[in-house]
Chain A
Amino acid sequence: MTLFQILIPFLVAPFVPLIGKKREGRELGIILAFIPFLLFISFLFEFINLKPATITPEIYQWIPSIGVDLAFRSDGLSLLFGLIITGIGTAVFLFAGGYLGKGMETVKFYIYILIFMGAMLGIVFSDNLLLLFIFWELTSFSSFLLIGFKHKYLASRYAALQALLVTGIGGLSLLAGVILINSVTGTFSISAIISDPSMLRESSLLVPIIILILGGAFTKSAQVPFHFWLPNAMEAPTPVSAYLHSATMVKAGVFLVARLNPVFTGIGLWNDSLMIFGGATMVVGAFLALKQTDLKKILAYTTLSVLGTLIMLTGYGSEIALTTMIVYLTAHALYKGTLFLTAGAIDHSTGTRDVRILGGLLKKMPFTAYAGIVAAFSMAGIIPMVGFVGKELLYETAMSGEPALFFGVLFAGVIMVYSAIQAGIHPYFAPEKETPLSPHEGDFTLTAGTVTAATMGLILGILASNLLTGMVSLAVSPVAGKTVDVSLGLWHGFNIILLLSLGTIIAGYGLYTVREKLYLLPQVYGPLEYLMPSKLYDKALNLLMFTARGQTSFFQNGYLRNYIITIFATALLLVGGYFFYHLDLTELVIDPSMEMYEAIAGVVIIAGAIIATVAKSRLYAVMALGITGLGVALVFILYGAPDLALTQLSIETLSVILFVLAIYKLPKFLKLSNRNSKIRDLIIASTMGVFITFVILAVYVHEHSTELKNFFAAESLPGGKGRNIVNVILVDFRAIDTMGEIMVLGIAAIGIFGLVKLVRKGG
């Protein structure tokens, strides 16, 4: 069932061009929005009927030889993420069609985002670490395509590549961690690892495993110092930012940490790293959000801050902290997805995202305004939103922990209020100003999703004590690794936490009143933002390019003679050196007796080779080489390999023709080599010849296994129904090899065609 649910987006993706070719963007959006919507309904039913005690993984064999199964697990955590992915997905699918309009670009967009949705569902439902990794990489890949969606712009391509490289390196780190886990426990199954973590926890590889896994999670969830890719990723179309870079993909790191938390929690390195890096991201993200004037950038930096908060909360590890994490995560997905989409709707209708010139949209865009305001209330943590429940819990958790983190939480809380006012209140209530386009409300595809998502945040807040409590308790138990009693409420009476809440709201509003001064902050701390990580990334990338360029011009210098020298010299130094070092001359058996006809074949081959080297023109050289080739064919005949001889004969004939045709195009034959290079070539060539000769002699000394030979000889007729063993091997026993070889041949033909055509065009 889960397998089917995950496969649906992948199965639909190829048909999008058919559905979307002739349709308006909004029509296509409405049709395709049914896919996440129906999945949402199916997850909802599963979630309602979920009985934590009876969860059994759903397993299909895939690659049993290395223990990779299509194993899925739908527990509370996966289903909550599944609901967020498909729920926000429905809003985004609906929105994007109207936002992007008609055309092939929109079709492409839906293909990418369907692939992304499938991959993201794959991550959260996987019960196999390698399977999870595959989906993980697939999200990085689809994110690359979506960030670079406006691929004509340099900034888009730069941001796409940056996101791919940063999350890609993290992906490799995750893969290494997964392999280490497998080497310790002997399994990739997440259920198995969680149910018996003792082997991992006592392993000597525990420290590298934790570091590698966190490397994957921190890059994906944009934790300091890898945070820089996320704000740049805002180059993507707004629906993508809402979906991937706020509600779902960037939470994959948080999900991974939450999923594996029962295994590692209690280990100092795990909890401390989560708290330190998460806390740092929370503060840095909030701080960088201060000076932003672009709606999307404001939302991006506050997303960073929230991601940090979620990671930090997991690091606290207590039941209340994990409960907070789940509530906060749900609240964030709802309000941030909404705010991103309202930002997109505002951009769509006014032509700008600059908060300094936005205002007075309340009457012009009433539905968008409703969604934006409700979401902003949730973001600011104002009663009765679900964000309020999350914020109360957050302050409660923070008060029990490190004072430094407590102040960090308060700092981020204030800026969250400030940013919420900017993104969700200011555009509607500020005095109206001149905007590039005259503002108007979009049709229902641009408003339905945001209104619903914002209202969900309101409902979950009001029903905190039953609906939210039920959801969260199912989702938090898998994170804690035990059953957690959750009892949430909207109203906790007048206490210190409420006072703190009130304080942050007032302080946030205070910041808003002095916003004009904050916008000038770049002059004060501008260099800070460009401090190390992103600069380091640029430097590393430049260095890589520089090295690649140098290496290419050194090795791929375009001179065939240099290639051959490099290949031969490398072979001689590495293989030849080892070979001669271990060679026992006394072992070699040299039988000098030979028949007359053998001697003749030998003389023909050698004579051909010598003539080729001293030939005065290319044509002579080619013919001399042909003689050598025919001599070799003669040897094949003499030693009973008619198949080889036949092929060799045809090949020789054809290559002489090829050479002649190629020579026709070459410049005049010139003597380019001087005395020294001739001597060098002579030495390399003869050493190579000697080396090969000794290799052949050495091969004869050692008994080699006759098992294969006997097998093929015995099985050729009964198994392969042919008496020609060589051919039966080629087309039956080892047909897959041949398949690969002929594929290479075909590609080579295309390559030669391309080379010759390109040279012709260039010349």
Chain B
Amino acid sequence: MSTLILRTAVKYIIPGMFLFSLFLLFRGHNEPGGGFVGGLVAAAAIILYTLANGVEKAEKMLHVSPQKLIAAGLLVALLAGITGWIAGKEFMTGIWLDLPIPVMGKFGTPVLFDIGVYLLVTGMVVKVIFTLADTREEGNQ
């Protein structure tokens, strides 16, 4: 599948896809979207890159390993839950900042939680695809 046309096209498509995934993530609280679907789109972007350039290059492009994304996602989501606890309320109670932030509106622990979901979903899908698409080991045998 790795053709010059695809490789070139991917270079321009991917930034847009990442932006779109972030857009989906942050608008999710008010409009259709959210961390889950945002994560899927981000994963799709990475997969597209993988199809064009192979797993090895994709791993380099990503800088962090997908299992770290999974772990980070879980930690961020947990952090969002614990914040409510620290504030003296029940676990997972939403805590909101009063400042209005451009584009997303408000920021609060539910948004943080959504970011955790986004990271985890991205990491999970990418991990699975990397595992399946990785042919390096087989080549050696």
Contacts and interface: CB of A to CB of B under 8 A. Distances in A.
A and B are partners in one complex rather than unrelated chains = yes
Given A742-B117, A742-B120, A646 B33 contact: yes
Interface in B15-34: 24, 28-34
A650 B44 contact: yes
Best-surrounded residue of B30, B67, B132, B138 (most CB of chain A within 10 A) = B132
Contacts of B125: 654
Contacts of A756: 131-132
A730 B74 CA distance: 15
A402 interface: no
A724 B27 CA distance: 9
Contacts of A662: 132
A724 B28 contact: yes
Given A654-B43, A735-B81, A745-B121, A720 B110 contact: yes
Contacts of B34: 643, 724, 726-727, 730-731
Interface string B70-107: 11011001101100000000011010100000000010
Contacts of B31: 723-724
Given A661-B132, A727-B29, A745 B124 contact: yes
Interface string A740-752: 0011011011101
A736 B137 contact: no
B70 A654 contact: no
A378 to B, nearest CB: 54
A445 B40 CA distance: 62
Nearest to A735: B92
A14 interface: no
Contact of A753 (B33, B81, B127): B127
Given A651-B40, A721-B106, A642 B32 contact: yes
A653 interface: yes
Contacts of B137: 760
Interface residues of B, number: 52
B61 interface: no
Nearest to A651: B40
Nearest to A641: B32
B129 interface: yes
Question: Among A662, A731, A760, which residue has the most Cβ atoms of chain B within 10 A?
Answer: A731
A581 to B, nearest CB: 39
B19 to A, nearest CB: 16
Interface string A628-660: 000000000000001100110011011001100
Given A647-B40, A657-B47, A658-B132, A749 B67 contact: yes
Nearest to B124: A749
A18 B83 CA distance: 30
A635 to B, nearest CB: 16
B132 A730 contact: no
B37 A739 contact: no
Contact of A748 (B110, B111, B124): B124
Contact of A752 (B80, B81, B106, B128): B128
A760 B141 CA distance: 10
A723 B70 CA distance: 28
B131 A731 contact: no
A722 interface: yes
Question: Which of B43, B91, B131 gathers most chain A CB within 10 Å?
Answer: B131
Interface in A650-705: 650-651, 653-654, 657-658, 661-662, 665
Interface string A705-728: 000000000000000111110111
A648 B123 CA distance: 19
Nearest to B115: A731
B73 A746 contact: yes
A643 B32 contact: yes
B110 A732 contact: yes
A757 interface: yes
Contacts of A722: 29-30, 110
A721 B108 contact: yes
Contacts of B49: none
B132 A731 contact: no
Interface in A148-183: none
Contacts of A750: 67
Contacts of A732: 94, 110, 113
B20 to A, nearest CB: 11
Contacts of A748: 124
Contacts of A646: 24, 32-33, 37
B113 A735 contact: yes
Interface in B29-55: 29-37, 40-41, 43-44, 47, 51
Given A735-B113, A742-B74, A749 B40 contact: no
A756 B130 CA distance: 11
Contacts of A724: 28-34
A556 interface: no
B40 A721 contact: no
A738 interface: yes
Nearest to B66: A749
Contact of A650 (B41, B77, B94): B41
Given A728-B110, A735-B113, A739-B78, A753 B131 contact: yes
Contacts of A727: 28-29, 33-34, 114
Contacts of A757: 131
For A654, A726, A756, A760, the residue with the greatest tally of chain B CB atoms inside 10 Å of its CB is A654
A760 to B, nearest CB: 6
23 contacts: A643-B33, A646-B32, A647-B40, A661-B133, A721-B106, A721-B110, A724-B29, A724-B30, A724-B31, A724-B34, A735-B81, A736-B81, A739-B81, A746-B123, A748-B124, A749-B70, A749-B123, A749-B128, A752-B127, A752-B128, A753-B128, A753-B131, A757-B131
Q: For the complex of A and B, list the 7 residue pairs with the smallest distance between their C-beta atoms, beginning with the closest.
A: A722-B29, A650-B40, A642-B32, A661-B132, A723-B30, A749-B124, A731-B110
Given A651-B40, A665-B132, 5 more contacts: A650-B37, A661-B129, A724-B28, A730-B114, A760-B137
